[in-house]
Chains A and B, each alone.
Chain A
Amino acid sequence: MSAEDTPKDYSESPINLEYFYTAGSATTRFLNQVKEGNIVGQACPKCKAVYVPPRGSCPRCGVATDIEVPLTDKGCIESFTVVHIPIPGNPIVPPYVCAMIRLDGANISFLHLIQEVDIEQIRIGMRIQAVWKPKEEWTHSLENIKWFAPIDEPDIDVATLRFQEL
């Protein structure tokens, strides 16, 4: 019996589902600003925590984050990983760096790429800034930022970033 003739002990059961997703209020507000090259977080009216990207609520307090907080595109690396294996469908050539980016003034971090630096030099607390695509390519996506690159500022002690109870 050749390999092709061996009875399969499994069934293929592919699933394809189509959706037409709506972003909801908070994400729409955020991405409309990203389209213009602005990063605007949203703050909790109770604990004042600033969320970027915002999801519309403060999970600490369970209330809507209805205060808009303009932020800069500068921050620091809260953590990072060096990706050595290619991921199917991902055009970036390994090795490359994915980092949790904590923007100045924000209380949470988000995932993005770090480029324009030796991988060996990347460290937690390193100061970085967004490198934007040309303005004519901006859409409603954080992909308007190509990646983050180091800037010449002193490192931050990430322990100081821990959320302080008011």
Chain B
Amino acid sequence: MKKVAIIGYAQHPILKNAGALNEVELIMPVVHQLFDDLGIGQKDIDFTCSGSCDYLQGAAFAFVEGLSAIQTNPPIKESHVEMDAAWAMYESMLKIQMGDAQTALIYGFGKSSPGDLNAIISLQMDPYYISPLWPDRVSLAALQARVLLDQNIITKEQMLTTVVEARANSKNNRNALITDLINESDYFSHAMISSPLNNLDCPPISDGSSAMIIASEEKAYEFTDQPIWIEGIDHRIESSNLGARDLSTSATLQASINQLDLENIKFDIAELHTQFSHEVPFLKSLLNLQDVPTNLSGGPLIGNVMMCAGLDAIGKTYESLKDNQLKHGLAHATSGPCLQHNMLVHLETQK
């Protein structure tokens, strides 16, 4: 594999309701900040790829409008994924591997405030057997939470600890949406939304955007003296047949762990795209991260911009390695309330 590095990442402050900004007005500041930080412009970018979901905006081909946020004259090479921008990063990585690009700009954007996210996520499910029942995202996540609790793979106390720590870690994240601290009695006094998940177990409705630039080895040092290398990346998809899955484990993550040979790496830090509290102890156990500081950014529970939060996990891992002179970081991105897709990214500072 060619060596590819992350050389920049920017995140818009996460907002509860970004009504004052349309999608383009949300994207422009993060792209400009990245360019200004690196002293480059769109002319230095070979490939641009975005991640967003048209259903969030309620308009077909809404993602095309997002392109108005970046300079497209002279015409550029670009692409889009109807997914979290972590997958736009994956596509960009492939583009560089194929030799079609040396640099790539990735951006994601999402406003969950105008629509009904619970209903929208129903449409992500099997359209014959599941979507017509309109299961909301919390209820779908709760099905997996109950399996994990029932089989003692996780405990209610671990879910509480996850929520308390996420709030406490929000102090590390200048873009956090939720910063109030909570204690045990706050947690247990919250009414269930979809038992066994209460409001605090779920991420807030969030609006925002993020952007990242990755580059080949040749280009990376041209733009920064602190590239962080993508040492390994793997993404896999669980069966779309939800009822045929074993929700107590993740076959895809297990396969990725083997593919990336993660068991032999001592991670200094991890950022997981864990939208619901039960997913943190579950993934920490699966990924053998029990002793690894995880989600020091607070993670999705203190701000969860749909179609960005996966890219943000990668971006926060990048920032953490860079700012604290750490060596190995693990980032995880997902799609869906039952961890239907999983991507693992192993980031490493210069060997």
Contacts and interface: CB of A to CB of B under 8 A. Distances in A.
Given A62-B42, A64-B28, 15 more contacts: A15-B123, A17-B119, A18-B116, A18-B119, A19-B115, A19-B116, A20-B114, A21-B114, A55-B22, A55-B68, A56-B24, A56-B25, A62-B70, A63-B28, A63-B71
Interface in A41-74: 47, 55-64
Nearest to A24: B22
A23 to B, nearest CB: 7
A159 B119 CA distance: 48
B132 interface: yes
Given A13-B132, A17-B58, A21-B114, A60 B71 contact: yes
Nearest to A15: B123
A62 B71 contact: yes
28 contacts: A11-B128, A11-B132, A13-B127, A17-B58, A17-B115, A18-B116, A19-B58, A22-B22, A22-B113, A23-B22, A24-B21, A25-B25, A47-B73, A56-B22, A56-B24, A56-B68, A57-B24, A58-B68, A59-B68, A61-B71, A62-B28, A62-B31, A62-B42, A62-B69, A62-B71, A63-B28, A64-B25, A64-B28
A57 B115 CA distance: 24
Contacts of B55: 17
B65 A55 contact: yes
A81 B254 CA distance: 57
A47 B24 CA distance: 18
Nearest to A58: B68
Contacts of A79: none
Interface in A63-117: 63-64
B199 interface: no
A21 B73 CA distance: 30
Nearest to B67: A59
Given A15-B123, A62-B31, A21 B25 contact: no
Interface string B16-40: 0111111111001001100000000
Contacts of B73: 47, 59-61
B113 to A, nearest CB: 8
B127 A60 contact: no
Contacts of B131: 13
- Chain A interface: which size bin? 20 to 34
Contacts of A17: 55, 58, 115-116, 119-120
A26 interface: yes
Contacts of B28: 57, 62-64
A61 B18 CA distance: 24
Given A19-B58, A62-B31, A62-B71, A57 B114 contact: no
B114 A25 contact: no
Contacts of A55: 22, 24, 65, 68
A26 B25 contact: yes
B162 to A, nearest CB: 31
A130 B113 CA distance: 36
B224 interface: no
Nearest to B35: A62
A24 B25 contact: yes
Nearest to B71: A62
A60 B43 CA distance: 12
B72 interface: yes
Interface in B49-83: 55, 58, 65, 67-73
A27 interface: yes
Contacts of A20: 114
A6 B65 CA distance: 44
Nearest to A18: B116
A67 to B, nearest CB: 15
Contacts of A25: 20-22, 25
Contacts of A57: 24-25, 28, 68-69
A23 B18 CA distance: 10
B20 A22 contact: yes
A18 B116 CA distance: 7
A58 to B, nearest CB: 8
A59 B20 contact: no
Nearest to B29: A64
A111 to B, nearest CB: 16
A24 B72 contact: no
Nearest to B19: A22
Contacts of B58: 17, 19, 21
